[in-house]
Amino acid sequence: MKKRLLTFTALICSIISLNAQSNYVDQLYFNARGSFNFQEGKDWDDKGAKAEFFNFNMSGHIADNITYRVRQRFTKTVTADNPLNATDFLYFNWDINEKWSMAFGKQEIFIGGFEYDYAPIDVYFYSDFCNTLPECYSFAASVFYNINKNQQLVFQLSNSPYYADFSNKLSYNLAWFGNIAPWWKTIWSVNEVEFADGKYMNYIALGNQFSFGDFTLDVDFMNQYCSDYDDFFFTDWNIVGKLNYNYKDFNFFCKGGYDKTPVNAPVWAISSAVYDGDYSYIGGGLEYFPLKNKDLRLHAVYYWQDKAEGVHNISIGATWQLNVINKK
């Protein structure tokens, strides 16, 4: 660990030196989240403090119309088979013209939904689908088309999210980032995800965000289908809702969801990304920003979920950010 920190210290010094001569680095920062967690076992005896996230983030320019992004998690396991398992982002984006751009490298697999789209450090508890999907980030090639300043289509070819390591299975993703109205944003997608040879799961994911003054409501719905199901709709599906209320330096939120998977689904379709049967959860909490920005955030969160016979969870902690370079 000490050797790795020394290596990164030398890297940062080199970047700062380079940045004095050019505009290649626009933003460089570390962020972290730690919490005291309490989980209902016997008399709440499952408890303890945990460093949940420690991330290295960097973005900048290779050229005027070519940018890059890096996000590395120190708190995620790296394996010999997958040395980039802890790397969320390692890609470049090329703006070809006002309408077209492309990205290549390790990036987010474009599956619709706001819960899925948030940075993991900003999410305290997930739906079953997001929580157990083997991989949300993968090497991919993406093509973006800007319909107008408020509408964007993305076609992406990526590795299958059902595999954390490299495989010869692919995912074909078509997503729409839109603003239907000033108060309604969307992240919708259609995905054909290869799970096994000749076996595919289809996603129709509809992420919606509604904003009214200090209130923001996220509503995500996903329908999943494979050829072994009798019906296309509402055989395998989930819904997630989250309501935020911002008051001065506080954010109050509540969140809940429900996942439904047929108990007689084929083994390949159930996988580790889908819970066999019904799964529901609900919770909420508050966040406090004492510096009136996002550099320090304190949180207290409670949630209940029935996947493990009704487990209660409490998290109390903080998220903080150390800015090294910030030209934005």
Tell me what the mean pLDDT of segment 201-224 comes to.
Answer: 97
Rounded to the nearest 5 degrees, what angle is found at the Cα of 98, between the Cα atoms of 97 and 102?
A: 55
The type of residue at 279 is Y
C-alpha closest to that of 256 among 286, 288, 219, 287 = 219
Please state the rounded mean pLDDT for residues 81-99. Answer: 92
pLDDT digits (tens, 9 = 90+) for 268-325: 554 545 555 688 999 999 999 999 899 999 999 999 988 655 688 999 999 999 999 9
Average pLDDT over residues 27-53: 83
Distance CA 192, CA 75 (A): 31
Amino acid identity, position 278: D
Q: Give the span between the Cα atoms of 176 and 42, in whole angstroms.
A: 46
pLDDT at position 11: 60
Residue 44 has pLDDT above 70, yes or no: no
Residues 6+ apart with CB under 8 A from 67: 26, 59, 60, 61, 92, 93, 95
Given a contact cutoff of 8 angstroms between Cβ atoms, the answer to whether 158 and 171 are in contact is: yes
Instruction: Indicate if the pLDDT at residue 259 is higher than 50.
Output: yes
Least confident of 145-149, 185-189, 226-230: 226-230
pLDDT band at 168 (very low <50, low <70, confident <90, very high): confident
27-326 belongs to CATH 3.20.20.70: no
Checking if the pLDDT of 220 tops 90, the result is yes
Whether 306 and 280 have beta carbons less than 8 Å apart is answered as yes
Lowest mean pLDDT segment, chosen from 45-49, 65-69, 152-156, 165-169: 45-49
Q: Within a 10 A sphere around the Cβ of 54, how many other Cβ atoms? A: 16
Q: Reduced to 3 states, what is the DSSP secondary structure of residue 88? A: strand
Which pLDDT does position 316 carry in this prediction?
A: 97
pLDDT score, position 235? 87
Q: Between 121 and 83, whose confidence is greater?
A: 121
- Is 136 a residue whose pLDDT tops 70? yes
Q: What is the mean pLDDT of the chain?
A: 87
Q: What is the pLDDT of residue 69?
A: 97
**Mean pLDDT value across residues 251-258:** 97
Residue with the bigger pLDDT between 45 and 92: it is: 92
Helix (H, G, I), strand (E, B) or coil at 13: helix
What counts of helices (H) and strands (E) characterise the chain? 4, 16
Please give the Cα distance from 103 to 92 (Å, whole number): 6
Q: Three-state SS string across 217-254, please?
A: EEEEEEEEECCCCCCCCCCEEEEEEEEEEEECCEEEEE
**Count of other CB atoms within 10 angstroms of residue 46:** 13
Query: 43-47, 96-100, 222-226: which has the minimum mean pLDDT?
Result: 43-47
- Going from N- to C-terminal start, the domains of the chain cover 27-326
Nearest by Cα to 324 from 1, 74, 13: 13
pLDDT given at position 82: 80
Highest mean pLDDT among 41-55, 122-136, 234-248: 234-248
Predicted pLDDT of residue 315: 95
Taking a C-beta distance cutoff of 8 angstroms, is the pair 233, 223 a contact? yes
pLDDT reported for residue 42? 45
| Mean pLDDT calculated for residue range 125-148 | 92
- DSSP symbol at 168: S
Least confident residue range of 39-48, 86-95, 187-196, 236-245: 39-48
Instruction: Tell me what pLDDT residue 20 has.
Output: 45
Residue 315's alpha-carbon distances to 284, 285, 312, in angstroms, are 11, 9, 10
